Amino acid sequence: MNPTMTALPPSFQWGVATSAYQIEGAAFEDGRTASIWDTFCRKPGAVHNGDHGDVACDHYHRMPQDVALIKSLGVDAYRFSVSWPRVQPGGRGPANPKGLAFYDRLVDELLAQGIDPWVTLYHWDLPQELEDAGGWPVRDTAYRFADYAALVFERLQDRVATFTTLNEPWCSAWLGYQVGVHAPGRRSFDDAIAAVHHLLLGHGLAMRRMRGMETRPHTYGITLNLGTADPASDSALDREAARRADGMGTRIYLDPLRYGRYPSDIVAELATPFPVRDGDLEIISTPFEVLGVNFYFGQDFAGTDEAGNTHDPDGNPIVRAIFPDTPRTAMNWPITPARFTRLLVRLHRDYPGLPMVITENGSAFADNPDISGFVADDARTAYLASHLAAVADARAQGADVRGYFAWSLLDNFEWAEGYAKRFGIVHVDYETQARTPKQSALWYRDTIARTREA
């Protein structure tokens, strides 16, 4: 018998996840304005195949059918994100009634089907006007985010119990402002450091605003993408590289959030300071109820580049990621479920007293639908099973993990990879917009049902 069936309790919360830009389409309808992703997608060479989210899965027009699909899987909860430029075009000023009305209908539809709505306020679609004014490296963006959060909260708080602020600030800051492979595509270390701080500040400001407005108690949280950072060898150089990678990937987020300080080893090494003002760290460390963990894979780190150098041309120590020697997904990401267990146990140890929910976990594989659109995705099913077993193992070792959202409900717009990489447990035919549950979706449905009976 599959270990997940006995080891996860009937109270475990099961869900599926998506995000606005990746599925909604209707990019310029009902008053929505451009986000940094609409702009980035139009930069030649930025996104595979020149793909964009103008239509995506057309979820904006197919929402009731998609909620029925979610219902058919028997999940408890649905994690979706709200599009900032749909709700507050341009990122300032009053709400767009038509934009808010969409999420209103979505929430009502979910509740009518007995599905718990999990709102993510920011899944990467910054209004372009705010990027033009400086984006996340600029302090004012944090205040704009809190204003926007208040607009959404005011409208939905009576029916939505769980609000999470940001999805994966590491990606917004590093991929968006340092590496440049995500929107807005800038390449500046200083901008990335400033973005980290202003994202965290925005999280804290938004949470305080929402709590101040609430007419009933809510669960608040933030979602981080977290992995494991192991030294590639036992050498002192590689151990230092792993420490730095862990510092920049995990501790610069969780230490300020939980303990109100940036990690001292990282601060001492950074040439650029975080732009902290008096009182910021108190705001950032405002208590919250749930940590959303997104996990895809763990990595090893080496302190030398392939030529054996220990420092890059700017004088920074090398931190080179090496993928462990395991089977890979279509993203070329290593499959590392044992590291997932290790991550969750470590989070429980280093940041105790914080319930966790897996807000994303899943895999892309090259699917081959049969003539009816059915995909016999053994590899994705095995990925899900092994990672759910990893969660069960972590729970058995004491980690307080209360739920799991599969990424993703649907095949969708996978950012720089466009539509080429399919993460859905439901297949989408982008020509016809037909949705067909894959074998993994049926397995997930049956696993949930069996767990409830246990």
* DSSP H stretches of helix in 10-58: 20-23, 36-41
Structure tokens at 150: 């208040």
304 or 408: CB nearest ligand FCB:
408
Instruction: Give 225 or 228: the residue with its C-beta nearer to ligand FCB.
Output: 225
Do 67 and 435 contact (CB within 8 A), yes or no? no
Q: 360 an active-site residue?
A: yes
Q: Which is nearer to ligand FCB, 122 or 163 (CB)?
A: 122
Q: Residue 239 CB, nearest distance to ligand FCB (Å)?
A: 27
d(Cα 312, Cα 319) in Å, to the nearest integer? Answer: 10
Nearest-approach distance from CB 259 to ligand FCB, in angstroms: 25
Q: Please identify which of the residues 24, 240, 360, 414 carries the catalytic annotation.
A: 360
Q: CB neighbours of 288 closer than 8 A, spacing ≥ 6?
A: 207, 220, 221, 222, 257
Q: Which residues of 144-174 are buried (b: 16+ CB within 10 A; e: fewer)?
A: bbbebbbbbbebbbeebebbbbbbbbbbbbb
Structure tokens at 92: 């300032």
Strand partners, 427: 436
CB of 383 to ligand FCB, least distance (A): 12
CB 34 within 8 A of CB 128: yes
Query: What's the CA gap between 445 and 357, in Å, rounded?
Result: 19
Q: Which of 168, 306, 417, 431 is catalytic?
A: 168
**Nearest distance from C-beta of residue 438 to ligand FCB, angstroms:** 16
Which is closer to ligand FCB, CB of 96 or CB of 419? 419
- Residue 291 pairs in a beta bridge with 222, 356
CB 398 to ligand FCB: min, Å: 27
Q: How far is the CB of 335 from ligand FCB (least distance, A)?
A: 14
How far apart, in whole angstroms, are the C-alpha atoms of residue 298 and residue 289?
25
Closest to ligand FCB by CB, 303 vs 424, is 424
Residues that bind ligand FCB (CB under 6 A): 19, 22, 167-168, 171, 225, 294, 360, 407, 414-415, 423
Instruction: Give the nearer residue to ligand FCB in terms of CB position, either 117 or 227.
Output: 227
Packing angle between helix 97-112 and helix 140-156, nearest 10 degrees? Answer: 50
Task: Give helix 97-112 / helix 59-72 axis angle, nearest 10°.
Answer: 20
Residue 313 exposed, middle or buried by CB count within 10 Å (0-12, 13-18, 19+):
exposed
Q: What is the closest distance, in whole angstroms, from the C-beta atom of residue 449 to ligand FCB in the complex?
A: 26
- Nearest approach, Cβ of residue 361 and ligand FCB (Å): 9
Cβ distance 79 to 405 under 8 Å? yes
Q: Nearer Cβ to ligand FCB, position 5 or 145?
A: 145
- Return the DSSP state at 324: -
- Where helices occur in 159-307 by DSSP H, the ranges are 169-170, 189-213, 236-246, 252-259, 264-269, 280-284
Choose between 181 and 270: whose C-beta lies nearer to ligand FCB: 181
Q: In the complex, what is the shortest distance from the CB of residue 18 to ligand FCB, in angstroms, rounded to a whole number? A: 8
**Whether 289 is catalytic:** no
Q: Which C-beta is closer to ligand FCB: that of 150 or that of 331?
A: 331
Cross-strand bridge partners of residue 256: none
Name the pairing type of β-strands 290-294 and 356-360: parallel
For residue 352, what are the contacts with CB-CB under 8 A and spacing of at least 6?
A: none
Cβ neighbours for 239, distance < 8 A, ≥ 6 positions apart: 231, 303
Q: What residues act catalytically?
A: 168, 360
